[in-house]
C-alpha cells in the first residue's frame, strides 16, 4: 500500500518518517512551509486577549528551556528506545517543498505519487480544498485524547485536570476543523517521576506510532473505521506561566 507523508521539520516528524520508511511503503514526503509567526500571534491575541498570550509566551520563552534541560536525560532515554534508526525527514530522496501544505501544487504532487492514504504529522490546519482534492484518507496524529483534549498539549492538560485515564494520543481522520476528525485509534501513556511538560509529547508520539499502524492495517483490510468514545469536546491552548505554576504547586503536574 502506497503512503505519502505530510509533515513539518520537528523531531517528531523525523520519528514518524523513520517509522514509515522502516515499516511501510513510503512513496513520498511533502514538507509544509514556514508559517508567519507574527500573524499567528496577532490572531491569537484577537481570540484570547493580549495578557493571556503574553503569559503564554512568557512560559514558552522563560520556563520551557529550563524544563527541557531538566528532562534532557529522560528525553534521550525515550528517543533511544525506538527499535529503528531515526533519520531526518529531509534526508528522504525526493522531498517536495511547497510554500504551504495548502498550496495547489500539493494536489499536483499527490496526483503524481498516487498514494492509497496520507499520513499527516505536524502541519498547519489543512484546508478543505486539499482534503477533498487528494481523494484518499488522511490520518493525523494528535497528542491528546480527542475530542476531549483538542488543540495543544493534550497530555499535560489531562494531567492538570486530574484525568490521567485520558492522557494519551489519537490517530484521527483529517477534516477542516481542529482535531475534530473521526477517531480511528487511541492509546494512553504512563507518566513517571522523571517526566515533565517536555517529555509528555515524546511519550505520546511513541504511543502514536501504534495508532498510525492500526490505521494503516485497517486500510490494508478494507478501509478506515472510526469509533465514538462519547467524550465531551473541548479545545485547549498553550498554558500560561500562571497555569503552569499553579498546576505544579497545587497538583504536582510538572
- Average pLDDT, integer, range 171-177: 96
- pLDDT of the residue at 200: 98
Residue 158 has pLDDT above 90, yes or no: yes
pLDDT above 90 covers a percentage of the chain that reads 96
In a 10 Å sphere around its CB, with 0-12 CB exposed, 13-18 middle and 19+ buried, how is residue 48 labelled? middle
CB contact at 8 A, 60 and 238: yes
79-97 per-residue burial string, b: 16 or more CB within 10 A, e: under 16: eeeeeeebeebeebeeebe
The domain of 191 spans 2-251
- Average pLDDT, integer, range 81-100: 96
- Average pLDDT, integer, range 62-81: 98
Judged by DSSP in three states, 246 sits in helix
pLDDT above 70 covers a percentage of the chain that reads 100
CB contact at 8 A, 173 and 184: yes
- pLDDT of the residue at 137: 97
Residue 223 has pLDDT above 90, yes or no: yes
- pLDDT of the residue at 37: 86
CB contact at 8 A, 215 and 139: yes
- Average pLDDT, integer, range 151-178: 98
Say which range, 3-7, 36-40, 114-118, 138-142, has the weakest mean pLDDT: 36-40
Residue 7 has pLDDT above 90, yes or no: yes
- pLDDT of the residue at 9: 82
In a 10 Å sphere around its CB, with 0-12 CB exposed, 13-18 middle and 19+ buried, how is residue 176 labelled? middle
- pLDDT of the residue at 218: 97
- How many domains does the chain fold into? 1
Cis geometry, peptide bond prior to residue 147 (ω within 30 degrees of 0): yes
Average per-residue pLDDT for the chain: 97
Residue 36 has pLDDT above 90, yes or no: no
Q: Three cell numbers at 182?
A: 473521526
Q: What is the CATH number of the domain that holds 9?
A: 3.40.50.170
226-243 pLDDT, tens per residue?
999 999 999 999 999 999
Residue 220 has pLDDT above 90, yes or no: yes
- pLDDT of the residue at 193: 96
Predicted TM-score (pTM) of this structure: 0.94
- Average pLDDT, integer, range 190-206: 98
- Average pLDDT, integer, range 114-127: 97
Amino acid at each position: 500500500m502506497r503512503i505519502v507523508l505530510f509533515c513539518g521539520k520537528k523531531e517528531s516528524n523525523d520519528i514518524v518518517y523513520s517509522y514509515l520508511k522502516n515499516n511501510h511503503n513510503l512513496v513520498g514526503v511533502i514538507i509544509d512551509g514556514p508559517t508567519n509567526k507574527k500573524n499567528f500571534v496577532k490572531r491569537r491575541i484577537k481570540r484570547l486577549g493580549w495578557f493571556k498570550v503574553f503569559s503564554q509566551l512568557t512560559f514558552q520563552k522563560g520556563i520551557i528551556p529550563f524544563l527541557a534541560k531538566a528532562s534532557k536525560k529522560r528525553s534521550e532515554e525515550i528517543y533511544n528506545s525506538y527499535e529503528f534508526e531515526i533519520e531526518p525527514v529531509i534526508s528522504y530522496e525526493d522531498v517536495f517543498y511547497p510554500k504551504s501544505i495548502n498550496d495547489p501544487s500539493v494536489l499536483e504532487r499527490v496526483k503524481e505519487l498516487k498514494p492509497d492514504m496520507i499520513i499527516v504529522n505536524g502541519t498547519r490546519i489543512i484546508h478543505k480544498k486539499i482534503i477533498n482534492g487528494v481523494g484518499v484518507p488522511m490520518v493525523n496524529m494528535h497528542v491528546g485524547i480527542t475530542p476531549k483534549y483538542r488543540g495543544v498539549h493534550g497530555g499535560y492538560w489531562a494531567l492538570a485536570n486530574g484525568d490521567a485515564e485520558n492522557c494519551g494520543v489519537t490517530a484521527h481522520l483529517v477534516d477542516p476543523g481542529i482535531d475534530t476528525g473521526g477517531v480511528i485509534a487511541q492509546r494512553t501513556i504512563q507518566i513517571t517521576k522523571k517526566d515533565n511538560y517536555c517529555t509528555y509529547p515524546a511519550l505520546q508520539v511513541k504511543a502514536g506510532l501504534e495508532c498510525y499502524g492500526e490505521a494503516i492495517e485497517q486500510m490494508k483490510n478494507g478501509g478506515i473505521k472510526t469509533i465514538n468514545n462519547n467524550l465531551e469536546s473541548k479545545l485547549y491552548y498553550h498554558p500560561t506561566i500562571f497555569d503552569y505554576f499553579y498546576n505544579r504547586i497545587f497538583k504536582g503536574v510538572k
